[in-house]
Amino acid sequence: MTDFKSGFISIVGRPNAGKSTLINQLVNQKIAIISNKPQTTRDAIIGVVTEDNYQLIFIDTPGIHKPKHELGSRMNRVSYAHFHGVDVIYYIMDVSEAFGRGDLFVIEKLKGSHIPVILVLNKIDQVSNDHILQRIVEVQEHLDFKEVVPISALKDDNVDRLIDVTLNYLDDGVMYYPKDTVSAYPEQFIIAEIIREKILALTQEEIPHSVAVAIERIVKKKNAVVISALIMVERSSQKGIIIGKGGALLKKIGEQARLELETIMGQPVFLETYVRVETNWRNKSRLLNQLGYIETEYE
C-alpha cells in the first residue's frame, strides 16, 4: 500500500470551543456527546477516518479549564497527556469569543510540546473576515503555529481543507484499525455518554457537572437488549430534580436515551435507570477510578 498515510491527531482547547462537534463532523457520525454546557467531554474520545490513501485517528479531549475538584484536575491531565505521543495537535479556538487568559494558559502548555500544532479557528460563520484576520494576528504573536485553518465545524465549512493540511505532516503509515472502524470505545462507554447527554439537555445549571452515569448491566437477548444504568449525583436535591415530579423527568431521560440506543444497536432496548446520591463523588479517587476517569501523570 504505497503512499498510504496514517497518524494520531489530538483535538485540544478550552471548553465549548467545538471539539466534539468537529470530531463528529470529521467521522461523519455522532461519537461524542454535544452540549452547550462547559466541560461536557470528560475523557478522551477516539474517532477514526479511513480513506483509500489515509487513516486518521482523532482524539477529542476534555476542555482545559480551572479545576474545582479532583475530577476537573483529571480531565485536564487527560488533555495534557495528549500533547504528547501524537503526530499533530489541533488547537481549536472559538473565534467568536474574546481571546483571553484561558487561551494564553493553553498556549503556554503547548509551547512545551514538540508536536506540530495547527490553529483551528472555529465558528467562522458567526464573525466577519476582518475579525478572523485580526484573531490570527493576535494569536500568532504568542505561538508560531505550523498552519492556521479557519472552519465552521457545525456547518462543515473548510473541514476538508483541515484534513488536506494535516496530511502534509504525516508520514507513510500503517492501518491501525479495520477500515470500517469509526470509534474505538467500549459499548458501556457509549451507552453511558448517551444517557449523560440527555441529562445535560434536560436539566439546568445545578445538575450537569454533578452527574455521572455507570452502566451496571447489559444483557443481550435474541430480540432485545436490556440495560441497567446508575445515575450518580452529589446531593438529595439533585436526585429529586433528575427524578422529577412523579418520576416524569427520569422517564423522559430514559425515553430519549432509549430511542437513540435503538438506532445505534438496531434492535429494541429496555433501559432501566435509577439515581443514587454519592456525596462529593468528584473528589473520591476510588469512585473516579470505578467510573473510568483514570489518573494520568501529566500536569
Ligand-binding annotation for 14, yes or no, is: yes
Q: What is the pLDDT of residues 72-84, one digit of tens each?
A: 777 777 777 777 8
pLDDT digits (tens, 9 = 90+) for 198-249: 998 888 765 656 788 989 999 999 899 999 999 999 889 889 989 999 999 9
Could you read off the pLDDT of 22-55 as tens digits, one per residue? Answer: 998 998 888 776 666 555 565 678 889 999 999 9
**Is residue 61 annotated as involved in ligand binding?**
yes
Q: How far apart are CA 174 and CA 194, in angstroms?
A: 32
Cell of 24: 463528529
Of 167, 196, 226, the last residue of a domain is 167
| Predicted local confidence at residue 1, as pLDDT | 46
Answer yes or no: is 283 a known binding residue: no
- Is residue 18 a known part of a binding site? yes
123-150 pLDDT per residue, tens: 999 999 999 999 999 999 999 899 999 9
Question: By residue range, what is the domain housing residue 196?
Answer: 187-290
CATH number where 211 lies: 3.30.300.20
Has 13 been labeled as part of a binding site? yes
Residue 174: what pLDDT? 87
Residue 80 belongs to domain with CATH number: 3.40.50.300
Pairing of strands 225-233, 212-220: antiparallel
Question: What's the confidence (pLDDT) of residue 150?
Answer: 97
- Determine if residue 44 is labeled as part of a ligand binding site: no
Say whether 42 counts as a known binding-site residue: no
Q: Sign of the C-alpha dihedral, residues 261, 267, 273, 279?
A: negative
Please tell me whether 266 is known to bind a ligand.
no
Q: What predicted TM-score, i.e. pTM, was given to this entire model? A: 0.74
The count of domains in the chain is 2
DSSP 63: P
Is residue 17 annotated as involved in ligand binding? Answer: yes
